[in-house]
Structure 1
Amino acid sequence: MNVRRLIPTTALAGATALGLVSLSACSGASSAGGAQAGGKLDVVASFYPMQYLAEEIGGDHVEVTTLTKPGVEPHDLELKPRQASELRRADYVLYLKGVQPAVDEAIAQSGVEHTVDAATLTGMEDHGTEVGHDHGDEGGGEEHGAGAGADPHVWLDPVKYAEVAEGVGDSLAKADPAHAADYRKNTETLVGKLRALDAKFTDGLRNSTTRTFITTHSAFGYLAERYGLDQHGIAGLGPESEPSPARIKELQSVAKQEKVSTVFFETLASDRTAKTLAKDTGLRTDVLDPLEGITDRSKGDDYLSVMESNLAALQKALGAK
């Protein structure tokens, strides 16, 4: 991850006196000229799934800053004044509306010309604590953009994430036409990797003892629908939501009826409820990572490796053969 250093006010004043136009110490690009001015395109990403796309597709032509640092729970992010300032000076902003309300508001006020909401690049659906292949389009079907209640976790479905990648590649090409061919080539490479990942999930989860899994954070609705699974979330779409006693009782019944072996928790949120439920029902616990950030505790160092770890965890929990 690249970290951009901001020039102190005194140094900026000196630079102005010398007639310099750069506002970014790392990128050497003005907000108007971007990479076309001779430097790298100054890209701000809202959190890790957007950062990964920007870095993979942008390659050597972009300098990427993420608003959500490693280990920070993205849903709870509050922007500092320095981050808001970084945002306003960006050449290109990539975010996913509905994940981080504070970021959504700051971006709306930023005035950045090239601002891309990943939620507009693929179909969005409404998901809750229970979703899967038997539930169909309970939320009213698929539509572009994140409406009220829409599940934003599209990056956990490799097919939808590939659709977003294609849209990001097109938008970067428009923002920086001088390097459009490279952006399109990088997009094609990334989409190929995501299609291969999709094939691994399809093959790896085809035959299993059960199709049902329980997780603390209901982030895996798109993944469940893609691969014919049933997700039962302890909490809702927000990872810190507290389940009711009735919900816990319901999950205990689901675990028994559907031969569930494992309760999944994640790295960036509390595992207390998952471990309590597992203890009460005699189940194992394991990590299913919603990939909202990469930390030292992540089972992999990038999107693809963590998703492959998620696949291995699901195969074990579901008794895949």
Structure 2
Amino acid sequence: MSLTKPHRGLLLVLALLVILTLAACGPKSSGSIVEGKVNVVTTFYPIYEFAKEIGGEDANVINLLPVGVEPHDWTPRSQDIINTSKAQLFLYNGAGLEGWVPNFLKSLNSDSKAKAVEVSKGVDYIMTDEEDGHDHGGEEHAHEGEEHADEEHSEETGTDSLHTDPHTWVSPKSALVMAENIKESLQSVDPEHESGYEERYNKLAERLQALDSKFTTELAKLPNKEIVVSHQAFAYLARDYGLKQHAIMGLSPDAEPRGQDLLDLAALVKEEGIRYIFFEELVSDKLAKTLAGEAGVETMVLNPVEGLTTEQDKNGDNYFTLMEKNLQNLILALQ
């Protein structure tokens, strides 16, 4: 049966309604544009928290990544493009974490004055031959800074297969660099409140320095240094505080390990006397529990602080409470 034009038109309208309804059902970002304030859009939780603390009453901060969502495979919605187009500042981690950023920035309204800032810039990046598993939207859209970092390192090592580890914020030392970048970006778009941003940044920096000092002191006392984690998110933490990370999966928590890799890790766990396999709450703990069962050990949380669970959000958890829990769990596991 052939459809008349009115029928075809009706079907098209219904199809569009279904698409729009499905899009509206997805998890939403936090907040909306506020007139008369500096509007700051952030890509995921740690940047959001630091921007909120430094911005204080002078800034309205909107986080794109919804509560309970893991950032590696998340992509923005149309409303996120609209909000960012109206904002003064767009803060993203960079180092390859948000592969969607180049195309996202191209999608902003032509009259948008949003300043995009890569807040991990200046961190001493860790390079790895592990696949990052992120969708970069094609090599031609790679971020210029990330591309340069990879090329520079490739020239030194003679290989073009290295990737930047993006998990910079998991070390308080790197978080300090990121916080300063956020402060300077706020001052650049809102010089009128420069002193307020400086004052609030100094308070945040003191807390990060205290956390850094605590990690340094407490972890130096421990006899064991080897940790086995679900995905390779703790290289900066390991480098800065004298630990050695063994990961079940690569830079992305979606990367599937080979069976032989799990057997090799199980052998390492037994050989080194490792008592715990660390997992994280925003991704499946199935592989961590499989390895723990194979090696005859227990599991424990080590949080990469990529986002909050719904429960953590309700409980008022933040970067500092989660990092303190990480430290206590590391102390317990490495004694």
- Bin of the TM-score, shorter chain as denominator length: 0.7 to 0.9
Give the Cα separation in 1 of the matches to 2:331 and 2:128: 23
Matches within 5 A, 1:297-316: 297-298=311-312, 301-316=317-332
Deviations 1:124-179 (A, max 9, x none): 121467xxxxxxxxxxxxxx943451011111110111011112111111110000
For the residue of structure 1 that corresponds to 2:97, the secondary structure is coil
Matches within 5 A, 1:10-49: 24=33, 27-28=34-35, 39-49=36-46
Deviations 1:222-246 (A, max 9, x none): 0000010000000000011111112
Q: What amino acid sits opposite 2:170 in the alignment?
A: L
Residues 128 and 218 in structure 1, CA contact (< 8 A), matched pair in contact too:
no
Which residue of structure 1 aligns with residue 101 of structure 2? 103
* Alignment length (residue pairs): 275
Displacement after TM superposition at 1:207 (Å): 2.0
Displacement after TM superposition at 1:40 (Å): 1.3
- Match status 1:118 vs 2:124: no
Give the Cα separation in 2 of the matches to 1:253 and 1:297: 35
- Match status 1:72 vs 2:69: yes
Matches within 5 A, 1:130-279: 145-146=145-146, 147-148=149-150, 149-279=163-293
TM-score (norm 2): 0.78
Give the Cα separation in 2 of the matches to 1:255 and 1:286: 14
Deviations 1:81-137 (A, max 9, x none): 1111112111111001211212342035435442111132322121467xxxxxxxx
Residues 29 and 66 in structure 2, CA contact (< 8 A), matched pair in contact too:
no
Displacement after TM superposition at 1:4 (Å): 3.1
Percent identical residues = 36
Give the Cα separation in 1 of the matches to 2:128 and 2:202: 30
Residues 276 and 292 in structure 2, CA contact (< 8 A), matched pair in contact too:
yes
Picking from 11, 31, 41, the partner of 1:4 is: 31
Which moves more between the two structures, 187-196 or 79-88?
79-88
TM-score (norm 1): 0.81
Residues 46 and 96 in structure 1, CA contact (< 8 A), matched pair in contact too:
yes
Picking from 60, 63, 75, the partner of 1:63 is: 60
- Do the aligned partners of residues 108 and 288 (structure 1) sit closer, same or farther apart at CA in structure 2, a change above 3 Å counting? farther
Q: What amino acid sits opposite 1:125 in the alignment?
A: I
Give the Cα separation in 2 of the matches to 1:199 and 1:152: 23
Residues 89 and 116 in structure 2, CA contact (< 8 A), matched pair in contact too:
yes
For the residue of structure 2 that corresponds to 1:70, the secondary structure is coil
Residues 211 and 229 in structure 1, CA contact (< 8 A), matched pair in contact too:
yes
Unaligned runs of 5+ in 1: 6-23, 29-38, 130-143
For the residue of structure 2 that corresponds to 1:189, the secondary structure is helix
For the residue of structure 1 that corresponds to 2:41, the secondary structure is strand
Which moves more between the two structures, 206-215 or 285-294?
206-215
Give the Cα separation in 1 of the matches to 2:316 and 2:215: 17
Which moves more between the two structures, 167-176 or 305-314?
167-176
Give the Cα separation in 1 of the matches to 2:181 and 2:126: 18
Q: What amino acid sits opposite 2:101 in the alignment?
A: V
- Do the aligned partners of residues 197 and 108 (structure 1) sit closer, same or farther apart at CA in structure 2, a change above 3 Å counting? farther
- Do the aligned partners of residues 225 and 300 (structure 1) sit closer, same or farther apart at CA in structure 2, a change above 3 Å counting? farther
Task: Specify which structure has the higher proportion of helix.
Answer: 2
For the residue of structure 2 that corresponds to 1:4, the secondary structure is coil
For the residue of structure 2 that corresponds to 1:124, the secondary structure is coil
Larger Rg: 2
For the residue of structure 2 that corresponds to 1:263, the secondary structure is strand
Picking from 293, 296, 300, the partner of 2:310 is: 296
